[in-house]
Chain A
Amino acid sequence: MTRIVHKFTRKVPEWQPRVVPVKLEEATPQQLDALKVTPSNTKVSDYVLTLAHDVESLSVRSPLFNAIMYDRGGMSREERELGALAASMVNRCVYCAAVHADRHAKLSKDESVTDELFAKGEKADLDPRNRAIFDFSRKAAEAPPSAGPEDIEALANAGLSDEEIFDLILSSSLFGWANRLMHVLGDPVSRKETA
């Protein structure tokens, strides 16, 4: 029975690589450094061990990811998660969508927005600010990107500052990157039932 998850969900699946990840016991010092392995932290996900095959990219990608999603100021964290989610839905990265829908629900203490998005996709009933954020991010994630001046205008009309709009560009674009790793290099699989 296949355990691959095909439908969008907030229940975060496991991620099963399609290539063989780096084995921790065979990792080079540079890989160990990028993996942030220390005597007190020896747990590393298969995803990160997979990316360790390209250690120069991994070393810069992790801090860049954290800065775009978590640095202070500008757009709220939950709205950055919405940008990440929109891109993940366009690219059908079920794993990424689950992680970022779950974070959005927790940060906003509200499951209704992500419930609505998973039920109705781009036709979801959203408030004007979320509508503008989702629409811009969805169009920007298309390949080729299809967002236009009217989408930026809609963001400004919904009350977003230039700082917030730039943060949204960064967070939605970041998932153009993350989706192409996670969705291409592995499968989302349902977690084994715990006995």
Chain B
Amino acid sequence: MNISDMTILSKAGVTQNSALSGVVSSRGNIIGMAQVAEEAVLRPKDSGAFAHDLRAAIAARVARLAGDERLAAYYAADAGQYSTLADPEETGGQQDELAAVLSFVDKVANQTREAAAEDVAGLQAAGVSDADIVRLCELVAFLAFQVRVIAGLRLMQRESA
């Protein structure tokens, strides 16, 4: 595991010389798999309805909803034509499918306990396929994990976002 190539470690400010480098290295297999998981949700070979730049915009949006500007900036850099969607104030406007996707993302990210059958039905009604609903959930859910591991490591080092 090369510490500087691992998003979780670089965004948490853990370097080769950190006091925590031994602790995280002992779970290097896990950090490495988390990096592979980032590839799978941000840059998958089969991206379904969500192109890589749209995924990056959604990831930046979720990071920002979690209050992590540093991680948000990392993802926003790849958001291309969708970069405005990284702002949680952006609703998708008149595009029904995009608006449904963004409101679903926001709810799953930050009002998780309130997520209900209607939310999935709403996406289906907007024309999102079941496979794409699962893809979207995996993207938001992975970000929830990544944001929290980074936040925890920062706390262990007394760093702020």
Contact = CB atoms under 8 A, between A and B. Distances in A.
Interface of A: 18-20, 50-51, 53-57, 59-61, 63-64, 67-68, 71, 73-74, 90-92, 140-141, 143-145, 147-149, 151-152, 162-163, 165-167, 169-170, 172-174, 176-181, 183-185, 187
17 contacts: A54-B48, A54-B138, A56-B44, A57-B40, A59-B40, A67-B29, A67-B33, A71-B30, A74-B26, A143-B112, A149-B158, A169-B149, A173-B148, A179-B112, A179-B141, A180-B108, A183-B115
Nearest to B68: A144
Nearest to B110: A143
Q: Which one of A71, A148, A176 has the greatest number of beta carbons of chain B within 10 Å? A: A176
Nearest to B118: A18
Interchain residue pairs A-B with the least CB separation, the first 6:
A169-B152, A180-B141, A173-B148, A19-B130, A176-B144, A177-B145
Interface string B37-74: 10011001110100000000000000001110000000
B130 A53 contact: yes
Contacts of A151: 155
Contacts, number: 162
B35 to A, nearest CB: 9
A169 B130 CA distance: 31
A67 B120 CA distance: 30
Nearest to B151: A145
Contacts of A170: 27, 30, 149
Chain B, interface residues (CB within 8 Å), range: 35 or more
A70 B15 CA distance: 26
Contact of A91 (B34, B113, B138): B113
Contacts of B11: none
Given A19-B120, A64-B30, A57 B156 contact: no
B40 A56 contact: yes
A90 B113 contact: yes
A53 B134 contact: yes
A187 B30 CA distance: 29
B148 A184 contact: no
B137 interface: yes
Given A67-B30, A169-B148, A185 B155 contact: no
Contacts of B140: 180
A59 B33 CA distance: 10
B112 to A, nearest CB: 4
B107 to A, nearest CB: 9
A57 B148 contact: no
Contact of B156 (A152, A181, A185): A152
Name the residue among A20, A59, A67 with the largest chain B CB count within 10 angstroms.
Answer: A67
